[in-house]
Structure 1
Amino acid sequence: MSEQNSAATAASSAFAQLSLQPALLDNLQSLEYREMTPIQAQSLPAVLAGKDVLAQAKTGSGKTAAFALGLLQKLDVKSLAVQGLVLCPTRELADQVAGEIRRLARLIPNVKVLTLCGGMPINPQFGSLEQGAHIVVGTPGRVQKHLDKESLSLDSLKIWVLDEADRMLDMGFADAMRDIAKVCPRQRQTLLFSATYPQDIQQLSAEFQRDPLSVRVESTHSAHQIEQRFFELPNQEAKFPALIKLLQHYQPRSAVIFCNMKQQTQLVADQLKAKGYSALALHGDLEQRERDQVVVRFANQSCSVLVATDVAARGLDIKELQAVVNYDITPDPEVHVHRIGRTGRAGQTGLALTLTTATQGSRVVAVEDYQQSRAVWGDLDALKKNPDNMKPDMVTLCIDGGRKSKVRPGDILGALTKEAGFNGQHIGKINIAELHAYVAVHHSIANKAYSYLQDGKIKGRKVKVRKLV
């Protein structure tokens, strides 16, 4: 490509060439969002023009910003009524989406974003809805319950977003989505985003959308970006010893291991813990608080290995995931590509390792056909056993007190650095939930930080604190 063509391409993909309000453009610049990702460049102009959009894109493609900017551009802040509704399959994804919308809206005064998810007490949500909200992000079941109880009104809705629609279908939310559609105004904009593109998605689009623009961003991954290796085993029983060999050889600082069944997920996590690995399981049988803590610990780098099912892993926002291991190869090649797309993000390189048996050859062929490249096979016997280097650097402390108590990240950081005197480099991610706050601290100061928070104060009041282990 010539320099002139390169410059033209960059200009056409710049956020600055969109007809966004100045506050949004200024904030994008401050966040160093200058050039649009492919999904944003292909969908945002249509979103801002008021068209319905049916979009497919892999994890980490920037689709949240694509619909969030559309929501915020058309928002009438003076009208405290629900003008945007985003449905997500899980609470983790809903929290992530709501956080990104708030971040993009930070230079627009008084934008109120509310999350309505199952697994949380419903009564506080009634109170929050009475106070009003501009944008609601929630799971289908809980949103439907509020509509049934008439605590949520969609009379002023302008834009309806279905995020990860394929997983909402997988989780049995089809009827809930259809019931919600009946309550939405007919004159609305509907944006449907999906990582995969099964026939059911086309059916949903036909029911919910009007003449949508169809956008499909290339969902395969570059061999330079993600190194893929397949390992064939004689039987299912050989998989766990093979997994240990892979971990001992590659030594990833963070890895997600995918299983097809939730029972297998818990079994593999328990077996890894028995071997001394820092491993947690993420599946549908966990209580919501347990799920929250598992996700926070893995994102905070206080756990090295997460064993998960596909549905449970939706909503994970891990920026620097070094490896993905397919303990069970999925029968759907699109899901395979979506799994491995969690590593090698943001310009980094990643590793994708897949265990198979001879009876699963057709699944490997399906992946080859979908990716239009031959599988590269590895040799387990050639792998070396390296010294264990997978101990997590961080420890997560859980503090009683979150958004409801007006606790902010700066309050916790200030207590640990300015008041307790810890080096800021030893403080990691700080997550504020509704009733709790989580802070990652380096293991070298974990005991001292725990003792300080037990005896000290945050925002002038004593707090209860415990280590998540």
Structure 2
Amino acid sequence: MTEPAAFDTLPLSPALLQGVAALGYTAMTPIQAQALPAILAGRDAIAQAPTGSGKTAAFGLGLLQRLDPMRIETQALVLCPTRELADQVARQLRRLAVGIPNLKVSVLCGGIPLGPQLASLSHDPHVVVGTPGRIQELAKKKALHLRHVRTLVLDEADRMLDMGFEEAIRDIVGRTPETRQGLLFSATFPDDIRALGAAMLRKPVEVGAEGETRAPEIEQRFFEADPARRAPLLAALLLRFRPESAVVFCNTRADVAEVAGSLAHYGFAALALHGDMEQRDRDEVLLQFANRSCTVLVASDVAARGLDVEDLAAVINYALPHDADTYVHRIGRTGRAGRTGLALSLVAPRELPRAAAIEARLGRPLRWEQLAPLSGRAANVPPPAMATLRIDAGRGDKLRPGDIVGALTGEAGLHKDAIGRIDVFATRSYVAIARAQAAQALARLREGRIKGRRFRVARL
């Protein structure tokens, strides 16, 4: 078996090799090894790359290599389907660019006020990451200048088209120079993606992701489901397999809300994620799931974009998706980094043709099992390991994670092992606390001070 190639075999600048080293990267993933040589040579590229394949580093190193930080102009643009994914991409780019001084990366997405974004564009950022609707709006207002873009990236292009962004994308592409490099990354390759690639790319290198879906590491099981008994069967699956974390995928927003409510009724720590939610509510749901304060996230494919959970124990299909590529992309969220994943699917009789298409895509027979739906109340429902406290203060109050740790281990009397993930934003901060100590931490923080000041603290 061929050893994975090292990053230092690439013609990367010393500053970028510093960023690669800081992230602990040594060997390239398959998609990076296939795409990076062509990207660094300035070629356009179209790549099939599922979540978790290392695609962000692939296009990130490419666009950062082409930047001239001395020129105060927007030189790279990354389009993403959701704000969550845009935030995730921007964080990764900043980490990769740790060796590049004074680099400005701006996130420009819908769902938040326009005013601060307009103000932030008084000086052009070097790199912009955002959603197509807001990028188009700012470009039309002539606040965002795209005439100097050297690299244009479409990340998760299939989902952007699913969300109806094709017209906005084509308009944005038309505002960038014809000489810019185009990079298109997509988990699936329907005809409309190929048409978009033909319109925006020049003689692109095509790279696949054979072997990137991690299917051999994912245990896949299928269960016949009476459509009227899906919810109690889902509860029975969660009780039987008891995953520490699970994403339940639904095909409609109505199902997302209904399933989350049903699981909560059974006693599961389940939260819904759908497009009708306010942005802050969406952010808090994703945060609680990522920090282990919620064990089950019920979501649609589009809403789950940008979900940043390194070790997802299980993916459950409440209903099979309409095509096999989406199924492969869904289950690819579990079983990452050499871990074993679990994918469970409920299949109604009318969905059997979809199951047959998945079987053909995988190239092997599906594993079918029987399980009786839950009858009556659920017993011994596994609770989440953590609980989340929200502090109404953030970066604007000069609050840092260390200040929160200090207050919890000092006045609140917690051991550091009881403190989990801490997220500090502009006006709010969130800290995960071991569930058994959450009430104590909440009471002590309300009574005491953080960094010498009193702030409002609540439990989500």
Taking structure 2 as the reference length, the TM-score comes to 0.95
- Aligned residue for 1:310, secondary structure, equals coil
Which amino acid letter does the alignment assign opposite residue 222 of structure 2? F
Per the alignment, do residues 61 and 437 of structure 1 end up closer, same or farther by CA in structure 2, a change over 3 Å counting? same
Please tell me whether residue 74 in structure 1 is matched to residue 56 in structure 2: no
Residue 142 of structure 2 is aligned with which of 134, 150, 153?
A: 150
What residue in structure 2 maps to residue 283 of structure 1? 274
Residue 273 of structure 1 is aligned with which of 254, 264, 270?
A: 264
Q: RMSD of the TM alignment (CA)?
A: 2.0
What residue in structure 1 maps to residue 185 of structure 2? 193
8 Å contact kept, 1:413–1:427 = yes
What residue in structure 2 maps to residue 56 of structure 1? 48
Which amino acid letter does the alignment assign opposite residue 252 of structure 1? P
What residue in structure 2 maps to residue 360 of structure 1? 351
Residue 195 of structure 2 is aligned with which of 179, 190, 203?
A: 203
Q: Deviations over 1:158-193 (max 9, x none)?
A: 111110110000000001001111111111011111
8 Å contact kept, 2:267–2:381 = no
What residue in structure 2 maps to residue 329 of structure 1? 320
- Higher mean C-alpha displacement, 208-217 vs 445-454: 445-454
What residue in structure 1 maps to residue 425 of structure 2? 433
Residue 94 of structure 1 is aligned with which of 86, 102, 105?
A: 86
Between the aligned partners of 2:194 and 2:384, the Cα distance in structure 1 is 43
Between the aligned partners of 1:244 and 1:382, the Cα distance in structure 2 is 7
Please tell me whether residue 316 in structure 1 is matched to residue 302 in structure 2: no
Per the alignment, do residues 419 and 48 of structure 1 end up closer, same or farther by CA in structure 2, a change over 3 Å counting? farther
What residue in structure 2 maps to residue 83 of structure 1? 75
Please tell me whether residue 302 in structure 1 is matched to residue 293 in structure 2: yes
> How far apart are residue 45 of structure 1 and its match?
1.0
Please tell me whether residue 264 in structure 1 is matched to residue 255 in structure 2: yes
8 Å contact kept, 1:219–1:337 = no
Give ranges in structure 1 of 5+ residues lacking alignment: none
8 Å contact kept, 2:256–2:274 = yes
Residue 128 of structure 1 is aligned with which of 120, 123, 130?
A: 120
Per the alignment, do residues 467 and 79 of structure 1 end up closer, same or farther by CA in structure 2, a change over 3 Å counting? same
Give ranges in structure 2 of 5+ residues lacking alignment: none
Q: Deviations over 1:402-432 (max 9, x none)?
A: 3444443333333333564532221111223
Per the alignment, do residues 322 and 386 of structure 1 end up closer, same or farther by CA in structure 2, a change over 3 Å counting? farther
Residue 228 of structure 2 is aligned with which of 229, 237, 253?
A: 237
> How far apart are residue 387 of structure 1 and its match?
6.3
8 Å contact kept, 2:77–2:149 = yes
8 Å contact kept, 1:54–1:215 = yes
8 Å contact kept, 1:403–1:434 = yes
Q: Deviations over 1:80-130 (max 9, x none)?
A: 221111110001101111111111112322221111011101111111111
What residue in structure 1 maps to residue 404 of structure 2? 412
Which amino acid letter does the alignment assign opposite residue 302 of structure 1? S
> How far apart are residue 23 of structure 1 and its match?
2.2
8 Å contact kept, 1:428–1:441 = yes
- Higher mean C-alpha displacement, 137-146 vs 418-427: 418-427
- Aligned residue for 1:229, secondary structure, equals strand
Between the aligned partners of 2:19 and 2:407, the Cα distance in structure 1 is 29
How many residues are aligned here?
459
> How far apart are residue 64 of structure 1 and its match?
0.5
> How far apart are residue 461 of structure 1 and its match?
3.9
- Aligned residue for 1:313, secondary structure, equals coil
Per the alignment, do residues 84 and 222 of structure 1 end up closer, same or farther by CA in structure 2, a change over 3 Å counting? closer
Which amino acid letter does the alignment assign opposite residue 17 of structure 2? L
Residue 105 of structure 2 is aligned with which of 94, 108, 113?
A: 113
- Higher mean C-alpha displacement, 337-346 vs 223-232: 223-232
Which amino acid letter does the alignment assign opposite residue 407 of structure 2? A
- Higher mean C-alpha displacement, 382-391 vs 70-79: 382-391
- Aligned residue for 1:445, secondary structure, equals helix
- Aligned residue for 1:130, secondary structure, equals coil
Between the aligned partners of 2:184 and 2:159, the Cα distance in structure 1 is 12
What residue in structure 2 maps to residue 350 of structure 1? 341
Q: Deviations over 1:136-167 (max 9, x none)?
A: 11111111111111111112211111101100
8 Å contact kept, 2:224–2:349 = yes
What residue in structure 1 maps to residue 26 of structure 2? 34
8 Å contact kept, 1:83–1:158 = yes
Per the alignment, do residues 467 and 35 of structure 1 end up closer, same or farther by CA in structure 2, a change over 3 Å counting? same
Residue 15 of structure 1 is aligned with which of 4, 7, 11?
A: 7
Which amino acid letter does the alignment assign opposite residue 293 of structure 1? E
8 Å contact kept, 2:233–2:373 = no
Taking structure 1 as the reference length, the TM-score comes to 0.93
